[in-house]
Amino acid sequence: MKKTYRIGQIVPSSNVTMETEIPALLRSRETIAPERFTFHSSRMRMKKVTKEELEAMDAMSLKCAQELSDAQVDVMGYACLVAIMSMGRGYHCVSETNLHDETVQNGYPTPIVTSAGALINGLKVLGAKKVAVITPYMKPLTEMVVDYIQHQGFEVVDYIALEIPDNLEVAAQNPMNLLDIYKRLNLEGADVLVVSACVQMPSLEAIDAIEREIGIPVTSAAVCTTYEMLKKLGLDTKVPIGGALLSGKY
């Protein structure tokens, strides 16, 4: 029998993208690999992408971990990169520990992935040293994200902040617009492009097309989160399921 894994996601209440992009990646994987996946979410209230709302939302994540632990999911993903990065340098390590502790106390220890930590680990897998980044956030939050990434040992050579405060408007962006947006970046010296440093801004349809145009690895927070989930589950991460990071091309 094919093994089925339960994917748990801790999701901002206004996020509608992580529950489409991660399943899309893993459904694609199912066409060439034996495992199967089901998807289960618990939500934290957040409508506007401001530091104040993000901080209040993050406080709800422990309750979400408890709820998903009740469902005995096989891995949990915290689906908000900027919430973690706005809490201070290296906070993904703190969050992952706290969420895991909740599952231990609930009697069902569960591996934890944060999209923030997954992006950092994904850049390391790709051997990145200098990166360019696109975010939908307001500029002050984007600067926090840039500082966070640089504190983890990468140089951000350029970035774009689309400055969209409403989280549902972020989700409504056409991913193919990224084919024009990325051209506003100075990619000189960059060895990886993060085409969406946000798990709410859609990008999957654009990743391969941009990668063909610029000739360097292109990834996103959603792709890196999926990769990290597969690693936590002990599954083959070299199976090609879309996106440079998951294809084993680099």
The catalytic site residues sit at 80, 198
Task: Using alpha carbons, select from 196, 167, 151 the residue that is nearest to residue 54.
Answer: 167
Residue 144 lies in a domain: yes
- Annotated binding residues, written as ranges, equal 15, 80-82, 137, 167, 199-200
Q: Are residues 134 and 111 in the same domain?
A: no
- Taking residues 226-239, what's their average pLDDT? 88
pLDDT at 250: 41
Q: Are residues 140 and 188 in the same domain?
A: yes
Q: SS3 for the chain, per residue? A: CCCEEEEEEEEECCCCCHHHHHHHHHHHHHCCCCCEEEEEEEEECCCECCHHHHHHHHCCHHHHHHHHHHCCCCEEEECCHHHHHCCCCCHHHHHHHHHHHHHHHCCCCCCEEEHHHHHHHHHHHCCCCEEEEEECCCHHHHHHHHHHHHHCCCEEEEEEECCCCEHHHHHCCCHHHHHHHHHHCCCCCCCEEEEECCCCCCCHHHHHHHHHHHCCCEEEHHHHHHHHHHHHCCCCCCCCCCCHHHHCCC
| Of 196, 197, 167, 164, residue with least CA distance to 44 | 167
Note whether 185 and 210 are same-domain residues.
Answer: yes
Domain that holds residue 49: 4-115+223-244
Question: Do 110 and 228 fall into the same domain?
Answer: yes
Residue ranges at the known binding site for substrate = 15, 80-82, 137, 167, 199-200
- Whichever domain contains 68, its CATH number is 3.40.50.12500
CA 199 to chain centre: 5
Please give the share of the chain, as a percent, with pLDDT higher than 70.
Answer: 95
pLDDT, tens digit, 9 for 90 and up, residues 67-82 = 999 999 999 999 888 8
- Render pLDDT for 76-133 as a digit per residue (tens, 0 to 9): 999 888 888 988 898 999 999 999 999 999 999 999 999 999 999 999 999 999 999 9
Total domains, the chain: 2
pLDDT at 63 over 50: yes
pLDDT, tens only, 150-195: 999 999 999 999 999 898 899 999 999 999 999 999 999 999 999 9
Picking from 18-27, 54-63, 141-150, 209-218, which range would have the lowest pLDDT averaged per residue? 54-63
> Is residue 30 domain-shared with residue 88, that is, in the same domain?
yes
250 belongs to a structural domain: no
- Does a structural domain hold residue 249? no
Are residues 154 and 164 both part of a single domain? yes
- State whether 91 and 164 are in the same domain: no
Confidence (pTM): 0.93
Is 85 found in the same domain as 135? no
- For residue 174, the tally of other CB atoms under 10 A from its CB is 10
Same structural domain for residues 123 and 212?
yes
Over residues 196-231, the pLDDT tens digits come to: 999 999 999 999 999 999 999 999 999 999 999 999
Within this chain, do residues 228 and 108 fall inside the same structural domain, yes or no? yes
